[in-house]
Amino acid sequence: MRQVDMTRLDLSTGKAEKTVDCVAEEVPLQITLNASYSFVIWCSPSQFKELAVGYLLSEDILKSVDEIQELTANDATLNCQIKLKATVDLDERMKNSRRSTRIIPLIKASTSPYQHDQKISTVKSKLTIKAQTILDAINQMNNLAKGFKETGGLHDSGIFKSDGTMVAFSEDVGRHNTVDKVIGAASLSKADFSQCFMIITGRVPGDMIYKAAKVGLPIVASVAAVLNSGVSSAEKASITLIGFVRGKRMNIYTGEERIIL
């Protein structure tokens, strides 16, 4: 967060007050892979390693954290360097991955134009959890969401075990970034995704479900709305999708058999 000067207008009283406010900070993180490919993600200045790993996993470029030989991040230069093991054919991965247009080849040129991959993994987990566990998990997140409370400009995500124990938490200006960060953090801690669920605070489109499906998360819940692409993707991936988790209510759009009242 950063403090900035501002003028607050109160139209009910006709007064103007000069004061200081906290705003969310956004920085460009450059992620370099094998010194061959580089891309920039605009994000909050935290959890750079987790964001990089989670993004690569959810975009089909990295199959497992065990493929990483070296991982370093420099907060000062806003750079994260990742070196994969020699057994990984990075060029082939880049050619076939569901990658976004923000990936820029530096040394080795990609021969394949970007094409949105419609294939989505099917989650086979038999996990069931109590609805109350989801509500309790959101309360945990709310207690940790200091950045949002101070700025109102951040999203949060969390990954939890079936009993509600928190595995990973993140805040970021981008809702997709928070998902990448918690997936990265949980992967680095060797979490069993099939026995976990994820809570997010932003809207849920199809590409958010794609990220969850890639690592095998069976349940995704949000305090916000779900989009039609999120519902159709959740159906294809056999993921339980829940929206508008507020107070004592929630809307279950797919996979209601995993939720115990």
**Nearest CA-CA partner of 126 in 194, 38, 51:** 194
How far is Cα 120 from Cα 98, in angstroms, rounded to an integer? 10
Domain membership of residue 59 (yes or no) is no
* Neighbour-count burial for 176-204, b at 16+ CB within 10 Å, e otherwise: bbbbbbbbbbbbbeebebebbbbbbbbeb
Q: Are 54 and 185 in contact (CB under 8 A)?
A: yes
Does the pTM exceed 0.85?
Answer: no
Q: What pLDDT does residue 211 have?
A: 92
Domain membership of residue 40 (yes or no) is no
- Does pLDDT of 93 surpass 90? no
Residue 114 — φ and ψ, nearest 5°? Answer: -65, 130
Average pLDDT of the chain is 87
Domain membership of residue 191 (yes or no) is yes
Cβ neighbours for 45, distance < 8 A, ≥ 6 positions apart:
25, 27, 75, 78
User: Sorting pLDDT into bands at 50, 70 and 90, what band is 214?
Assistant: very high
Q: What pLDDT does residue 118 have?
A: 59
CATH code of the domain in which 207 resides: 3.40.140.10
Strand 219-222 versus strand 240-246 pairing type: parallel
State the maximum Cα–Cα separation within the chain, in Å, rounded to a whole number: 68
- Domains held by the chain: number: 1
Lowest mean pLDDT among 95-104, 117-126, 165-174: 95-104
Domain membership of residue 15 (yes or no) is no
Give the tens place of pLDDT for each residue, 216-236: 999 999 999 998 888 888 989
Residue 77 — φ and ψ, nearest 5°? Answer: -95, 0
Give the tens place of pLDDT for each residue, 122-163: 999 999 999 999 999 999 999 998 888 888 889 999 999 999
State mean pLDDT over 84-101: 80
Q: What pLDDT does residue 189 have?
A: 95
Domain membership of residue 238 (yes or no) is yes
Q: Are 238 and 127 in contact (CB under 8 A)?
A: no
- Does pLDDT of 60 surpass 50? yes
Supply 128's token pair. 């069931």
Domain membership of residue 173 (yes or no) is yes
Q: What pLDDT does residue 230 have?
A: 87
Lowest mean pLDDT among 27-31, 104-108, 135-139, 210-214: 104-108
Domain membership of residue 20 (yes or no) is no
Give the tens place of pLDDT for each residue, 232-260: 889 899 999 999 998 888 999 999 899 98
- Does pLDDT of 104 surpass 80? no
How far is Cα 56 from Cα 219, in angstroms, rounded to an integer? 21
Domain membership of residue 203 (yes or no) is yes
**Nearest CA-CA partner of 146 in 167, 171, 168, 165:** 171
Give the tens place of pLDDT for each residue, 6-46: 777 676 787 777 888 776 788 889 999 999 898 888 899 99
How far is Cα 260 from Cα 130, in angstroms, rounded to an integer? 5
The residue range of the domain holding 206 is 129-260
Percent helix, percent strand, percent coil in the chain, to nearest 5: 30, 35, 35
- Does pLDDT of 103 surpass 60? no
The count of other CB atoms within 10 Å of the CB of residue 119 is 9
